[in-house]
Amino acid sequence: VVVEDRMYSMGGFDANFKPVPGIDIYDAKTRGWTSLKTTIPAAETHAGHAVDGSSIYFAGGDTGALGKGRQQSGTRKVWRYD
């Protein structure tokens, strides 16, 4: 999602297809990425995102590692990041 001149990337997979709780920000003015020490409350992937002013909403998503023949469990939780 984009807030002001920054694009936020939240959650996702690592190199071993395990969900991560990280938050990375791309700043269009500096053309650089920053990894925040703050994380989303749970490691998730494939969540929905929305912006309301300066608040970012992170809703639903899949939890747990993605393994061969394994179905990921989902969540209905919603987080707000300010």
Distance (Å, whole) CA 56 – CA 58: 7
pLDDT at 73 over 70: yes
**Amino acid (one-letter) located at 7:** M
Q: 70 pLDDT exceeds 80?
A: no
**Per-residue tokens: 2:** 């984009």
pLDDT digits (tens, 9 = 90+) for 17-66: 888 999 999 999 999 999 999 998 888 888 889 999 889 998 888 887 77
pTM for this prediction? 0.79
